[in-house]
């Protein structure tokens, strides 16, 4: 069981000694029980930090934002930035370092073990008809403050699917870590949700996705929230084509428009397929894309599919090690090459 005060002390210590220039963490939002991301630079702010079942955001996104900002203002960082990271978040930081987006010395990881539980799935809580104003971890339970008083619910009843299926709730890559290492805990078998979906036949699955992509409004929230979608120019998006001094007139005139701007089904499908392929071997299943989707498209199914292929065909786990090879850039002589036969 994590004592929140320990996390606050760690953050305060780092800021006081100026070992880091900021701490990215969570604080209580003004909107009810939910946590929201916060960047603190003053040791006095450390007491604002919280740790509860609503800390679902993958904060590594803000490391990317920080790096983008520094590049934009042409500055280099004078000290690392600290970040509160769950097991999954730490893996996404590893992927970013694997891709040299920043270096290990640029980040101070305050690892938070999810121990035996994980984060809340708001939809599951709403389905139970519970309206809470506060949430807290308590062993295997979540404790909610409601108008009717305190309500205790077994965590696994309202936990996010990804947490139920998580194999590594402990942040392996860290500078400091809080909580016990309960790696290997099995709540649900990996890819349970995917397996359930794949019980449908191909025709039914196609229909399902046709329906889902019909609904996509191309708001790009999934892309904006994804720490792996850090490209300056997204290949699906010709609007943000960056024009620099070296861009030739020919290039400007001939930029490729792989996807049209209109949010029609085939275009939406191409967008999501491209995204899922670009995330293969990089997505660490933080599921922020699905969480932020305003029309509730189950994007996790797509990302999970790629993750399972990579694991089963190539024994590849994204975010396993900083120096490890990336999935799509490396070739094994033992490649089964099944798709070709």
Partner 1 sequence: MTKKRTGVFVCHCGNNIAATVDVTKVKDAMANEEGVVFSQDYVYMCSDPGQNSVIDAIKDNNLDNVVISCCSPNLHEKTFRDNAKMAGLNSFTCEIANIREQCAWVHKDKDEATAKAIKISRSAVRRAGRDQALEPIAVPVTRKALVIGGGIAGIQAALDIANAGVEVILVEKLATIGGHMLQLSETFPTLDCSQCILSPKMVEVSRHPKIKLMTYSEVQEVSGSVGNFKVKILKKPTYVDPELCKICDDCASVCPVVVPNEHDLGLTARRAIHIPFAQAIPASYTLDESACLGLNPVRCGKCKDACDVGAINYDMQPQTITEEVGAIVVATGFDLYAQEHMNEMGGGKVEDVLDGLQFERLCSASGATKGHVLRPSDRTVPKEVVFIQCVGSRDPAQHCAYCSKICCMYTAKHARLYKHHVPDGRAYVFYIDIRSGGKGYEEFVQRAMEDDGTIYLRGRVSKLYRKNGKVRVLGTDTLTGQNVEIDADMVVLALAMEPSKGTGEIAKTLKIGRDKDGFLAESHPKLKPVESVTAGIFLAGCAQAPKDIPETVAQAGAAASKVIGLLSQPTLSHAPTVARVRNSHCSGCEMCVTACPYNAIHLEHGKAVVNEVLCEGCGSCSATCLRAAIEVKNATALQIHEMIEACLA
- List residues binding partner 1 (CB under 8 A): 99-101, 230-233, 235, 242, 244, 246-247, 251, 254-256, 258, 278, 325-326, 328-331, 333
Closer residue to partner 1, CB minimum distance, 31 or 334: 334
Instruction: List phi, psi (to 5°) of 146.
Output: -125, 175
Print the SS3 string covering the chain.
CCCHHHHHHHHHHHHHCCCCCCEEEEEECCCCCCEEEEEECCHHHHHHECCCCCCCCCCHHHHHHHHHHHHHCCCCCCCCEEEEECHHHHHHHHHHHHCCCCCHHHEEEEEECCCCCCCECHHHHHHCCCCEEEEEEECCEEEEEECCEEEEEEHHHHECHHHHCCCCCCCCCCCEEECCCCCCCCCCCCCHHHHHHHCCCHHHHHHHHHHHHHHCCCCCHHHHHCCCCCCCCCCCCCCCCCCCCCCCHHHHHCCCCCCCCCCCHHHHHHHHHHHHHHHCCCCCCCCHHHHHCCCCCCHHHHHHHHHHHHHHHHCCCCCCCCCCCCCCCCCCCCCCCHHHC
Tell the smallest beta-carbon distance from residue 325 to partner 1 (Å). 6
Closer residue to partner 1, CB minimum distance, 255 or 261: 255
Closer residue to partner 1, CB minimum distance, 147 or 329: 329
Tell the smallest beta-carbon distance from residue 180 to partner 1 (Å). 34
Closer residue to partner 1, CB minimum distance, 9 or 232: 232
Tell the smallest beta-carbon distance from residue 246 to partner 1 (Å). 6
User: Going by C-beta distance under 8 Å and a sequence separation of 6 or more, which residues neighbour residue 132?
Assistant: 32, 33, 125, 144, 145, 146, 151
Closer residue to partner 1, CB minimum distance, 2 or 327: 327
Tell the smallest beta-carbon distance from residue 270 to partner 1 (Å). 12
Angstrom distance (rounded) from CA 136 to CA 80: 30
Tell the smallest beta-carbon distance from residue 329 to partner 1 (Å). 4
Closer residue to partner 1, CB minimum distance, 331 or 339: 331
Tell the smallest beta-carbon distance from residue 284 to partner 1 (Å). 16
Closer residue to partner 1, CB minimum distance, 146 or 330: 330
Tell the smallest beta-carbon distance from residue 247 to partner 1 (Å). 6
Tell the smallest beta-carbon distance from residue 100 to partner 1 (Å). 5
Measured from the Cβ of residue 124, the count of other Cβ atoms closer than 10 Å reads 15
* Location of structure tokens 């199914």: 301
Angstrom distance (rounded) from CA 293 to CA 283: 17
Closer residue to partner 1, CB minimum distance, 203 or 242: 242
Closer residue to partner 1, CB minimum distance, 206 or 258: 258
Tell the smallest beta-carbon distance from residue 175 to partner 1 (Å). 24
């Amino acid at each position: 069981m994590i004592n929140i005060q320990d996390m606050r002390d760690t953050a305060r210590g780092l800021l006081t000694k100026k070992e880091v220039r900021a701490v990215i963490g969570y604080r209580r939002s003004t909107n009810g029980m939910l946590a929201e991301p916060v960047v603190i630079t003053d040791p006095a702010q450390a007491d604002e930090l919280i740790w509860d079942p609503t800390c679902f955001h993958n904060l590594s996104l803000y490391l990317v934002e920080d790096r983008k900002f520094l590049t934009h203002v042409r500055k280099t960082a004078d000290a690392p930035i600290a970040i509160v990271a769950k097991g999954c978040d730490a893996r996404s930081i590893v992927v970013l370092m694997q891709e040299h987006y920043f270096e290990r010395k640029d980040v101070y990881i305050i690892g938070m073990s999810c121990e035996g539980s994980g984060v809340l799935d708001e939809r599951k809580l709403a389905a139970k008809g519970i309206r809470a104003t506060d949430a807290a971890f308590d062993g295997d339970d979540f404790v909610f403050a409601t108008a009717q008083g305190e309500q205790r619910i077994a965590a696994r009843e309202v936990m996010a699917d990804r947490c139920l299926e998580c194999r590594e709730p402990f942040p392996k890559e860290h500078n400091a870590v809080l909580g016990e290492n309960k790696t290997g805990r099995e709540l649900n078998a990996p890819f349970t949700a995917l397996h359930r979906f794949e019980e449908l036949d191909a025709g039914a699955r196609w229909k399902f996705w046709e329906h889902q992509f019909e609904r996509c409004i191309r708001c790009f929230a999934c892309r904006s929230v994804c720490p792996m979608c850090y490209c300056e120019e997204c290949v699906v998006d010709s609007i943000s084509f960056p024009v620099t001094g070296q861009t030739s007139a020919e290039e400007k005139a001939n930029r490729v428009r792989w996807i049209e701007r209109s949010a029609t089904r085939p275009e939406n499908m191409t967008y999501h397929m491209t995204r899922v392929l670009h995330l293969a071997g990089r997505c660490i299943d933080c599921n922020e894309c699905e969480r932020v989707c305003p029309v509730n498209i189950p994007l996790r199914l797509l990302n999970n599919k790629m993750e399972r292929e990579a694991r089963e065909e190539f024994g590849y786990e994204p975010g396993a090690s900083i120096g490890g090879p990336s999935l799509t850039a490396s070739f094994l002589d033992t490649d089964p090459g099944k798709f070709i036969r």
